[in-house]
Structure 1
Amino acid sequence: MQLENILPFAHTLLKQALKPDARALDGTAGNGNDTLMLARSVGSGGKVWAFDVQEQALANTRIRLEEAGIT
């Protein structure tokens, strides 16, 4: 079996594992796509920590979350 893009599968597993009010960590914030998915999964009572070595990645993540109405 060849997996060309494992990301959708990983997201499915995370969504099943993360419950409202959970805690999650995104070690490579990038453009914020995964951070947003994590934030939606844990809900307003949860918490997500997102890190990146690039300031621009953190800025992009912040913008993506703000546009989605998540602070």
Structure 2
Amino acid sequence: MIKTTRFLGYDKDEYGKLIINEDEAKIVRRIFKEYLSGKGSFTIAKEFNVEDIPTTTGAKWHDTTILVI
């Protein structure tokens, strides 16, 4: 079983199946795009915090969070 309470980009439907959460998926796509273009995880996290982009828990972004994604 996957813990979806902190699984950025997905939710569960009424049957317990994973479905894409488009708002969160945009964040995940941006992380990959920026990382692949050469930005480091620290820079991405810093920019997300400046832009007030929410994490799944409402906490601040950290470079380790970006790396795990």
Considering the TM-score relative to the shorter chain, is it more than 0.5? no
TM-score (norm 2): 0.28
Q: TM-score by structure 1 length?
A: 0.27
